[in-house]
């Protein structure tokens, strides 16, 4: 079952120069990127993305943080890709994330936990639509003859 997932690299990841490192970890695992761009979130986009958290105590801090600089937004595709990406990323709290995971290796706090990845196919579709038009999400093959 091929799934699509929305991922974004949070502003501290871009500022710390970890953009390539994080994308590289996903690529090395064989994850197929079908959309990718760097953007400054608008407040409307940030609030829409995190609407499920709007009554939580950490909400304002989270919104301010994601607006603090550019983010890199992506869509990836593959069989069980949601489970796979969330495994590579690690637990929400970097203190609980396994040391080999992205958050376990680079994260310092729950808010600044490096990267977001949607946790269900329904949420993935909802979230990618906030940032991408259908034309920006590409359809291509990884196994093209003669690449080497
Ligand atoms: P994400 O959506 O970012 O992949 O993370 P998640 O599912 O593991 O975490 P979620 O519960 O959806 O929370 C979304 C983001 O809110 C921030 N958060 N802060 N201070 C806190 O207690 C707290 N709890 C969550 C995190 O930045 C998390 O990524
Ligand atoms: Mg979540």
pLDDT tens-digit map of 81-103: 999 999 999 999 999 999 999 99
Does 30 reside within a domain?
Answer: yes
94 alpha carbon to ligand 2 midpoint, in Å?
14
d(CA 129, CA 106): 28
List CB contacts of 27: < 8 A, sequence separation 6 or more: 33
Q: Mark whether 116 is an active-site residue.
A: yes
* Ligand 1 atom nearest 119 alpha carbon: 7
Does 121 reside within a domain?
Answer: yes
Does 110 reside within a domain?
Answer: yes
31 alpha carbon to ligand 2 midpoint, in Å?
20
Does 147 reside within a domain?
Answer: no
Annotated binding site: 10, 58, 86, 92, 103, 113
Instruction: Check residue 1 and give its pLDDT.
Output: 86
| Interface ipTM | 0.90
> Cα 81 to the chain's mean position, in Å?
12
Domain total for the chain? 1
């Amino acid at each position: 079952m091929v799934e699509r997932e929305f991922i974004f690299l949070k502003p501290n990841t871009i500022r710390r120069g970890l953009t390539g490192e994080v994308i590289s970890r996903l690529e090395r695992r064989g994850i197929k990127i079908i959309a990718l761009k760097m953007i400054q979130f608008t407040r409307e986009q940030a609030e829409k993305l995190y609407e499920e958290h709007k009554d939580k105590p950490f909400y304002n801090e989270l919104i301010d943080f994601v607006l603090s600089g550019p983010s890199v937004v992506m869509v990836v595709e593959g069989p069980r890709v949601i489970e796979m990406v969330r495994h590579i990323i690690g637990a929400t709290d970097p203190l609980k994330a396994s040391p080999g995971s992205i958050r376990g290796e680079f994260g310092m706090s729950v808010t600044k936990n490096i990267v977001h990845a949607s946790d269900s196919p329904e949420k993935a579709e909802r979230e990618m639509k906030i940032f991408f038009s259908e034309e920006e999400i590409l359809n291509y093959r990884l196994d093209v003859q003669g690449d080497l």
